[in-house]
Chain A
């Protein structure tokens, strides 16, 4: 598992590759938080195109980042969510704080 990211102004676009579980999320969240702090990021857009597997550790990771940016009036956004991930997001109520968009450009329009 790894991630690539790009910052556009106060927006951070995070693209995951591989599997998101408890083990992987320990390093992922550290990498993302470093950028949120150093670049004063307000919005985080997670792109799940290349995520092959995710369990509830992904929920913790998304909610954790939401807590980092909500004080700055920022938010987290989810893009390219496949069916199996969609089930997990729906069951866990993540969509009440993180909005889902079909494409990256739709998400970029609202941030």
Chain B
């Protein structure tokens, strides 16, 4: 994401604490509300953000405290969201996005996070490098 690519953009940075999951999704929803999406669209975006941020909280840094970065850009009728961490990375992305796959079943994770992001957003891309971190990019098209 380059600066000035968007009509409007915001960036958030917060520690990988589970308390910040609701902060992140509510903030993105508040920012997106300026283009008057429907309640359904807002809920879908909130859910997708919550899934991506929760993944970063749970998996990115193991037991270390570190930052998660969320960006949200608006261009015409598209909302672009990235959720980024500089954590351990994902070894096998194909496996990670499989429905019902989780590397932490002991935490009662259902393994449905990426599946829900895929079904609620129009596009999703995952870039990850082991030892360097993960970026999840999502696009939602807002109908006029």
B8 contacts A by Cβ under 8 Å: no
> Among A22, A61, A63, A93, which residue has the most Cβ atoms of chain B within 10 A?
A22
A91 to B50, CA, bound (A): 16
Interface contact B40-A92, CB-CB below 8 Å = no
A87 to B43, CA, bound (A): 11
A19 to B24, CA, bound (A): 14
Give how many B residues have a beta carbon under 8 Å from the other chain's beta carbons.
Answer: 27
Interface contact A21-B22, CB-CB below 8 Å = yes
A14 contacts B by Cβ under 8 Å: no
Give how many A residues have a beta carbon under 8 Å from the other chain's beta carbons.
Answer: 24
Interface contact B22-A23, CB-CB below 8 Å = yes
Interface residues of chain A, those whose CB is within 8 Å of chain B, are: 19, 21-23, 25-26, 29, 53-57, 59-61, 63-64, 83-84, 87-88, 91-93
A-B pairs with beta carbons under 8 Å apart, 28 shown: A21-B22, A22-B54, A23-B18, A23-B19, A29-B108, A53-B25, A53-B43, A53-B50, A54-B47, A55-B51, A55-B116, A56-B54, A56-B110, A56-B113, A56-B116, A59-B112, A61-B108, A64-B108, A83-B40, A84-B47, A87-B119, A87-B120, A88-B47, A88-B112, A91-B116, A91-B119, A92-B110, A92-B115
